[in-house]
Amino acid sequence: MSKFTLFLVHGIGVHRNASWADETATLLEQAWQQDVSISGKSKHFNDFFQIEPITYDEVFEDYLDDFSDLGTAVFTDLLDLNKAEKQQLSETLIQHDIIDRHFLWSYIVDVILYKMPLVREQINALVAKQLYQKISQGSTSDNFGVIAHSLGTRVINDTLQRIRTEQADQSNFYQQGYKLKFLIQISDVTDLFGLPLNKDKHPPKNVFPRGTFDYFRTISNRFDPIARMIPTRLDHWPEGRNAEHYMGREIYKDILVEHVHETNVHGLTHYMLHPEVTDEIFDLCGFGRYLSARETRKAAFPAVGPHVEPGLRNALTSLLSDAVALADNSWQTYVNLVIRFGEFSSAQNQPTTAKKTAKKQDHLA
């Protein structure tokens, strides 16, 4: 039996090897076991799906190895920022002691470095190669879909553009008759690179003609400040394309979820907790008719998780209002937002004495 291949493209953060996708794959498998009913057949997730993680973090690592002081890494002439922006960014990194690749460093510098043509081209070539190596092993009738998260949403757009414009001849699976069934972008930051004032020097194009993929989905969380800062605009889509249908299904759909179950609402695994997200994935993979009580489960899913502090949702709402206000300013405003989000997340994750005692008692029990 031919399996459906799901490519997972990571976003911001440290993803040094394919194990970064293990937790996401586990959540998909759990949703499959709970929500899909296939009578008379094996229901095991691995009988139907092949998960293929895509990694590109090594390109950032290789670049940063050339700098002993990470605060100076932003001063390279290759970085597409003016002198004042570089100075301000460097001062911000030093002021907040962002000197190694932890949460804040990755959220800021991965995105900034991706603006460098040299880094971007290396990453696009690496991602194209990984896609091709897997896709070319199958037959042209095999099914392939891509789920990209955060920075990965821009990476996959640029990579597909590179393939479609034949800049990656050796990794062009389209030339051999293959195609992608869908692209799902979770916490889409494709248009973030239009900062400031929608001035994207290298916007994605030639990505969405017929034959690139059949369906496109963008998914964001109302409480995710990164996703909501620059919402998807689809300025690079052909006019009217987002309203078309194919095989009775919408070509494009934007899905907005509203749940807070973890402090890092931007995380891919946090998105995967919501049944509307996993249901859409299984539906696009061809298993929609096997999904049980889809609308009932969606309506019953709690907006606030059982282990979430009461004030977290309100605090995120306040942070989100800042994100919207900063949307058309500069790269520094994105940096400031990330720092606030990081400081906020760290504060929320600090357990009180009472919490520590409760956790210890739970463990002993």
pLDDT (0 to 100) of residue 41: 64
Which residue did the predictor score with more confidence, 7 or 71?
Answer: 7
Q: Per the domain annotation, does 363 fall within a domain?
A: no
Distance, in Å, from the CA atom of 73 to the CA atom of 28, rounded to the nearest integer, reads: 38
Looking at the chain, how many residues does it have?
Answer: 365
Check: CB of residue 45 under 8 Å from CB of residue 28. yes
Predicted local confidence at residue 4, as pLDDT: 95
Residue 326 pLDDT level (bands cut at 50, 70, 90): low
Q: What is the mean pLDDT of the chain?
A: 82
Task: Judge whether 107 lies within some domain.
Answer: yes
Whether residue 364 has pLDDT greater than 50: no
* Residue 364 lies inside a defined structural domain of this protein: no
pLDDT at 67: 66
Give the strands of the sheet with 180-186, arranged side by side: 49-54, 4-9, 144-149, 180-186, 213-221, 252-257
* Residue 281 within a domain: yes
pLDDT in the model for residue 354: 37
For residue 195, pLDDT beyond 60: yes
> How sure is the predictor about 210, in pLDDT bands with cuts at 50, 70 and 90?
low
Nearest-angstrom CA–CA distance, 349 and 343: 10
Q: Which residue has the higher pLDDT, 147 or 343?
A: 147
Q: Which CATH number characterizes residue 272's domain? A: 3.40.50.1820
When divided into structural domains, the chain yields a total of 1
Q: Are 113 and 60 in contact (CB under 8 A)?
A: yes
Type and span of the H or E element at 162: helix 151-164
pLDDT at 115: 84
Query: Does a cis peptide bond (omega within 30 degrees of 0) precede residue 196?
Result: yes
Give the residue-averaged pLDDT of 8-23: 90
Residue 172 has pLDDT above 90, yes or no: no
Quote the strand ranges of 237-309, DSSP E.
245-246, 249-250, 252-257
Which of these ranges, 38-42, 166-170, 173-177, 227-231, has the smallest mean pLDDT?
A: 166-170
Confidence at 358, pLDDT banded by 50, 70, 90: very low
The lowest-confidence range among 145-149, 153-157, 282-286, 358-362 is 358-362
Q: Would residue 190 count as lying in a domain?
A: yes
For residue 249, pLDDT beyond 50:
yes
Look at residue 198 in the predicted model and tell me its pLDDT: 65
pLDDT digits (tens, 9 = 90+) for 298-309: 999 999 998 888
Q: Is residue 94 part of a domain?
A: yes
362 confidence band (pLDDT: 50, 70, 90): very low
Per mean pLDDT, which range of 6-10, 170-174, 260-264 is the poorest? 170-174
Q: Say if CB 80 and CB 117 are below 8 A apart.
A: yes
The pTM is what? Answer: 0.89
Q: How high is the pLDDT of residue 209? A: 59
pLDDT-derived band at 103, boundaries 50, 70, 90: low
Sign of CA dihedral 165, 170, 175, 177: negative
Does 63 score more than 60 pLDDT?
yes
Residue 355 lies inside a defined structural domain of this protein: no
The pLDDT assigned to 149 comes to 97
Residue 100 has pLDDT above 80, yes or no: no
* Residue 71 counted as domain residue: yes
More confident residue, 235 or 121: 121
Report, as an integer, the average pLDDT of 192-209. 70
Of all residues in the chain, the percent with pLDDT exceeding 70 is 83
Nearest-angstrom CA–CA distance, 15 and 56: 8
Whether pLDDT at 333 is above 90: no
Cα-Cα-Cα-Cα torsion 304, 310, 316, 319, nearest 10 degrees, comes to 170
Domain residue limits at 251: 4-349
Regarding predicted confidence, which is higher, 198 or 161? 161
Higher pLDDT, 84 or 205: 84
pLDDT tier at 98 (50, 70, 90 boundaries)?
A: confident
pLDDT confidence band for 194 (50 / 70 / 90):
confident
Least confident interval from 82-86, 111-115, 235-239: 235-239
The whole-number average pLDDT for the span 116-124 is: 90
Positive or negative CA dihedral for 120, 121, 124, 127? negative
